[in-house]
Amino acid sequence: MASSQGPAQRLFSAGKQLLSSLIAAGETRMRLVVLELEEERARLFTLLLLSGLSLLLMLLGLAMLMLLVVVIFWDTHRLAAITISAAVLLGGGLLLALLVIRLARRHTLLKETLAQLATDRDLVDRDQVESPRDERR
């Protein structure tokens, strides 16, 4: 009974199976991308929360240290102690801001996935360019 199909029907059936396989592979890739994005979002949220708490504790500790320096030099050089403390804090803040700007310009989200897709696209383009030459021979 399987031989009752004509060549056109078998070709159509094979095309449908190929299309079904391609759609399934694409769906699998999309699910992996979504999963990767969800994991990255959770990691980023945890990272931001811990960074914020760390920054708050460091800020309080630095404020206490600056207060200690000012109290130690209160009788002799109070203005110099305040000025030097402020300059150190502002200079450190400026250096860290420049570092943050440099790091923020890097694109890392799905970097490897995009690189792999570019490689796949280049391979397909190269095969398409080489195929007409092979047919002429």
User: 44-56 pLDDT, tens per residue?
Assistant: 889 889 988 988 8
Helical residues (DSSP H) of the chain, grouped into ranges: 7-72, 74-104, 111-136
Model confidence pTM above 0.85? no
Beta carbons of 102 and 109 less than 8 angstroms apart: no
Dump pLDDT digits (tens) for 65-107. 888 988 998 899 888 888 888 888 888 888 988 888 888 787 6
Helix 74-104 × helix 7-72 angle, to 10°: 170
